Structure 1
């Protein structure tokens, strides 16, 4: 039973269930469980976990117990941990317990340590007749991870041929020593010495030249593979749905992306080296057997012993490597969050608390690094000991053979050279075999990105929506997971072409979620959305977003100039359009007053601008697209009354369909109609031309 590490922040329950199912013969991957059972960002409750387990064919038994009763549980079982987490209890001893933690991996904890985390709630799972055993799916292929890579196999073949050519010279080198010792020194043949010296000197020059060519080929392939592969992965990352990023920590995503470099190095360098090591090991073994099968047997026994040591230690090394990657990702996440929230830390004066947490995470990472370093040192020591003893034994036996005139001195020297080649190649091959097996860990982490299905992109429809498309919503409902409360429920409304509609309501009533549904960022649980008469799902997110302009509450600017941000880094942006959009957003004067105008750099995430300036530049970015539909979610919340009035007046006269989410009366009054939301439902509709009084979202007795 092995640990399954969660990828999403809130899927510890699913990961725990997958581990228990695997222990009973049902090999379930987390991606499969995610597709079958959607979870919210808030995690999973025990009753939801029970429902999912029963769906998989388990009989469930939730228990409340004391630490003394822990050894009476039917294992493996799921424990509630730290009041906000689930883990798997795999084994209980007299003083220690084995915990499979989805956030960390396998842990051996003392019972006192378990007591500090265990909340007293456990879930026993017993397979029923409905439980179906099945093996794990096929391993992830390199093609799935890399995507299309042009010229990969041709380059690998070229490197392999050059490497094989190099090995010919390596095989010939011991003969030089043998012939000099046995032929030249014995017969004092100076002419033969000159011939051998010139011949092997020329061979050395050829070897150096081929080695240089092979080195350049490896560098070229590595750079080309790295460029294409990272580009493919990043392109796929950009196509993933929004909830992929909302459910994962930023540091974890960057950590998984870094696995590309590890896999790339293995494919470009270690793969070819492993092939050459395998071929050379076979060739040198044949030569060793030709010289003496007794001496070869000693070396083979040493190789078998080293292989056994590495094989036994593989599982602990894999676990420590996985724990190191997880710990490093948590440290990276904490660092990125601290940098992003530096202003909040400064004004709160809580730098020391943040530093303390970071140091704890850093200690976890360093501890895992130390464990891996100790294992590597142990392997190096074992290799030196095993092959050192082997060399002593081979020389001892070989010397006796030479004394018995079975071997000449030159033959013994040549044999030792081939023996060293064989031992080096085979030990390297064993190390690379472990490396290839370890590659599965990086592949599984990267697969969380590259095997996640992208947003659905449909073909271009025959008839695009008109210049001012309508919006029709019928029976629209949404919740993040089965069993979760409805965030949007039974919404039905229509927005006419060119109409401006304000959606108002108390905080948390579902306004922003409704906008995300209209934008195609979320998939409705029920109901349909039509844009210009076309079903939003069939129209496809790419086509929808090509005709909309959006300002969301948490929109960001990017490092670059103001013009870059308004034009969204269009390489051929129209400066006149940029200025026109800035004027509509009432930010042109602010930009013109800057020393470099529209070419002024705004810093990381717009750090050099005020909140109001950032908001207006984001609005200008939406208007620069010349959209058919405009969505504004609290787009003027940071503006003063004068600038808010200017922006509202400019937007009001734009000939396009507008959806506005707002709390401020000035912005609400700029709309033609108001939809009032309450607890995810549209509870009232008000036309401002008929009723100039702006309704309050908390008023329950309003009439349209």
Structure 2
């Protein structure tokens, strides 16, 4: 239950947050989240996306209004001229660049301030606005039903160490060693005071030797303790890192397919990289913050013990520093988040360019891609420059502040020494304690800032960690052995509740061992239907039955272990051909690999390669032709010895003779086959044919097919 006090705002000023989009097409939802949060309905994108899912096609103004209405907002769509922007009730949503939404925060004579879900807060001149604003705006006004509430879902910080074996013990050990080191630091100023007050004035050389040997021993112990602590931190940080990364990657790889289809790969990599900041804080940050706090209290006590007046000067300087530091937190967080986003965009652009090298060269677009990447890289550097300028400015203020403090402290301390209220040795000790206090107190404040900044990384990780993974296990103790019958009953599917149905009332029965071809124009839903049948997409309504059992009761994991598939965008991974056919089976059955290669009519091609089945291929199979790659992927599907085989344009890159050979070989297996194809030869090879029409999925009478002997390469 949310704390009601969190909803109170004593400042009286409402703040418009910046919410950056995660998926490629959710700028509309991000804008709604910003406006709702401004009016008191705190909600994050993950929660909003779960309640009102959208597709890759994005959000229309009509859909946005429907969603806003469900959130108890009255919508007022407007068409206006640029000069009328100052008449809008802010915050309001603007249509931008014909394919984007932003939130208008404020309007002045020469510029406007917007919160862009893709880039963050931006200050744009009126001239520049005219190039982007389409003239359409949407005002959102809370209705009487609107209730302020907090629906933000956060990852509990304890999530990251709950299951880490030995973490608490290691943290206690590091804490104790750190406390020991700080005790040594507390003792060290006494050496200078004793030497100045007791040795120099009395010329006691023997006492000087005793002091030197004693503090030398302390120094040796301190160095040993420091080394031991460093080794311990390195050990348990590695242990923590591998466990955290493994748990997160395990969760990531089990997320449903739509999650990956809606995100840029660079953004996913960037979010996963946020784990490093959390690991750093867990291993050293928390312990160090506690130790720094204790040390700051101890040294502050020593300062007041030596000279209360001087201690007050030091405290005033520290309070001013803390106020300035925390005042700069919000802009620092905004720039840091913008830096992460721009870096992710640059990484995505770089990876896309490398993957599309062939197309870029064919179309002669090297210079265009260079300029595009250069702009992304410049955006990243510019964000870094802004962050650097902020740090330089703060560093200058910091140096000036503590410089003034040092001058005042020395001035007052010198007067105290001249007045006989303080010895020279005490002055040296005080200055040493002051240095320790300042460094530890500043480090404590910095750790507190880092702890607050950690919320940014937790928010980014939340997009992965808070997403519900696929339920692969049905709970059945014995997974049923499939025979291969498929039945679809009243199946409907849409990408989001506000979009039209892609699949409407589909009813289909496929018998065990039967071959069925599904045909229709591009974009009619053939591949979507196949993905629903494989459990990659969840139907909006209706049920998929396998051998008269609900697919969900069988278990997606159990089902996929017994089916094979060749999809249009299937990829090969870095490794040998043998490893790819077996999908990196730890105990490769080489005889089965060769048999599957023969069935896929690729054995002859592999035999002609210098290293045959040990030939190494890239992560995208770049050493193979399109037809060879398709047949290796087919061999990979057959290696599983599936009861059902799904084929989506699986032979589109083959010539007619090879396609006939592959179809003939697969047909002899007597397994259930679901085929999507456009070629007449492939379609006629099926036992039955179903066609997507405006009236639904209809069976088409099969025309007789002349017998043709397949041509198999010698």
Shorter-chain TM-score bucket reads: over 0.9
Does 1:399 pair with 2:399?
Answer: no
Measured against aligned partners, the alpha-carbon deviations of 1:392-437 in whole angstroms (never above 9, x if no partner) come to 1111101100111100000010000001100111111111211111
Does 1:325 pair with 2:340?
Answer: yes
Tell me by how many angstroms 1:151 deviates: 1.8
Aligned to 2:68: 53
Q: SS of 1:20's equivalent?
A: helix
Structure 1 residues 147 and 161: alpha-carbon distance in aligned structure 2, compared to 1, 3 A threshold: closer
Structure 1 residues 685 and 538: alpha-carbon distance in aligned structure 2, compared to 1, 3 A threshold: farther
Q: SS of 1:187's equivalent?
A: coil
Pick which of 460-469 and 341-350 moved more.
460-469
Q: Is the 8 A contact 1:509 1:679 kept in 2?
A: no
Pairing 1:378-393 to 2, within 5 Å after superposition: 378-393=393-408
Q: Is the 8 A contact 2:161 2:167 kept in 1?
A: no
Aligned to 2:177: 162
Aligned to 1:292: 307
Tell me by how many angstroms 1:628 deviates: 1.0
Pick which of 48-57 and 270-279 moved more.
270-279
Give the number of equivalent residue pairs: 691
User: Aligned partners of 1:472, 1:576: CA distance in 2, in Å?
Assistant: 34
User: Aligned partners of 1:313, 1:613: CA distance in 2, in Å?
Assistant: 58
Does 1:447 pair with 2:459?
Answer: no
Q: SS of 1:358's equivalent?
A: helix
Q: SS of 1:109's equivalent?
A: strand
Pairing 1:182-581 to 2, within 5 Å after superposition: 182-461=197-476, 464-581=479-596
Does 1:181 pair with 2:200?
Answer: no
Tell me by how many angstroms 1:210 deviates: 0.4
User: Aligned partners of 1:141, 1:463: CA distance in 2, in Å?
Assistant: 36
User: Aligned partners of 1:300, 1:114: CA distance in 2, in Å?
Assistant: 48
Pick which of 95-104 and 175-184 moved more.
95-104
Match of 1:87 among 102, 105, 111: 102
Q: Is the 8 A contact 1:465 1:533 kept in 2?
A: no
User: Aligned partners of 1:508, 1:137: CA distance in 2, in Å?
Assistant: 37
Q: SS of 1:90's equivalent?
A: strand
Measured against aligned partners, the alpha-carbon deviations of 1:123-167 in whole angstroms (never above 9, x if no partner) come to 001000111111354643223356732222221111111111111
Measured against aligned partners, the alpha-carbon deviations of 1:508-535 in whole angstroms (never above 9, x if no partner) come to 1111110000000001011111011111
TM normalised by structure 1 equals 0.96
Structure 1 residues 679 and 315: alpha-carbon distance in aligned structure 2, compared to 1, 3 A threshold: farther
Structure 1 residues 485 and 648: alpha-carbon distance in aligned structure 2, compared to 1, 3 A threshold: same
Q: Is the 8 A contact 2:514 2:687 kept in 1?
A: yes
Does 1:123 pair with 2:135?
Answer: no
Q: Is the 8 A contact 1:145 1:450 kept in 2?
A: no
Q: Is the 8 A contact 1:299 1:419 kept in 2?
A: yes
Measured against aligned partners, the alpha-carbon deviations of 1:641-692 in whole angstroms (never above 9, x if no partner) come to 2211111011111132111111112222221111111358202343x4xx42
Tell me by how many angstroms 1:96 deviates: 2.2
Q: SS of 2:698's equivalent?
A: strand
Aligned to 2:3: none
Tell me by how many angstroms 1:309 deviates: 1.1
Q: SS of 1:605's equivalent?
A: coil
Q: Give unmatched runs, 5+ long, in structure 2.
A: 1-15, 707-714
Tell me by how many angstroms 1:46 deviates: 0.1
Measured against aligned partners, the alpha-carbon deviations of 1:242-297 in whole angstroms (never above 9, x if no partner) come to 00000111111111111111221122122222111111000000010111111000
User: Aligned partners of 2:555, 2:110: CA distance in 1, in Å?
Assistant: 58
Measured against aligned partners, the alpha-carbon deviations of 1:457-514 in whole angstroms (never above 9, x if no partner) come to 3334366444422101111111111232221111111011111111111211111110
Q: SS of 2:585's equivalent?
A: coil
Tell me by how many angstroms 1:337 deviates: 0.7
Measured against aligned partners, the alpha-carbon deviations of 1:327-368 in whole angstroms (never above 9, x if no partner) come to 111111111111111111010011111111111111111100
Structure 1 residues 139 and 604: alpha-carbon distance in aligned structure 2, compared to 1, 3 A threshold: closer
Tell me by how many angstroms 1:32 deviates: 1.1
Q: SS of 2:42's equivalent?
A: coil
Tell me by how many angstroms 1:589 deviates: 1.1
Pick which of 478-487 and 610-619 moved more.
478-487
Does 1:620 pair with 2:635?
Answer: yes
User: Aligned partners of 1:146, 1:380: CA distance in 2, in Å?
Assistant: 34
Q: Is the 8 A contact 1:476 1:490 kept in 2?
A: yes
Aligned to 1:702: none
Tell me by how many angstroms 1:693 deviates: 6.2
User: Aligned partners of 1:466, 1:418: CA distance in 2, in Å?
Assistant: 75
Q: SS of 2:176's equivalent?
A: helix
User: Aligned partners of 2:378, 2:694: CA distance in 1, in Å?
Assistant: 45
Tell me by how many angstroms 1:577 deviates: 0.7
TM normalised by structure 2 equals 0.95
Aligned to 1:31: 46
Does 1:107 pair with 2:122?
Answer: yes
Q: Is the 8 A contact 1:146 1:233 kept in 2?
A: no
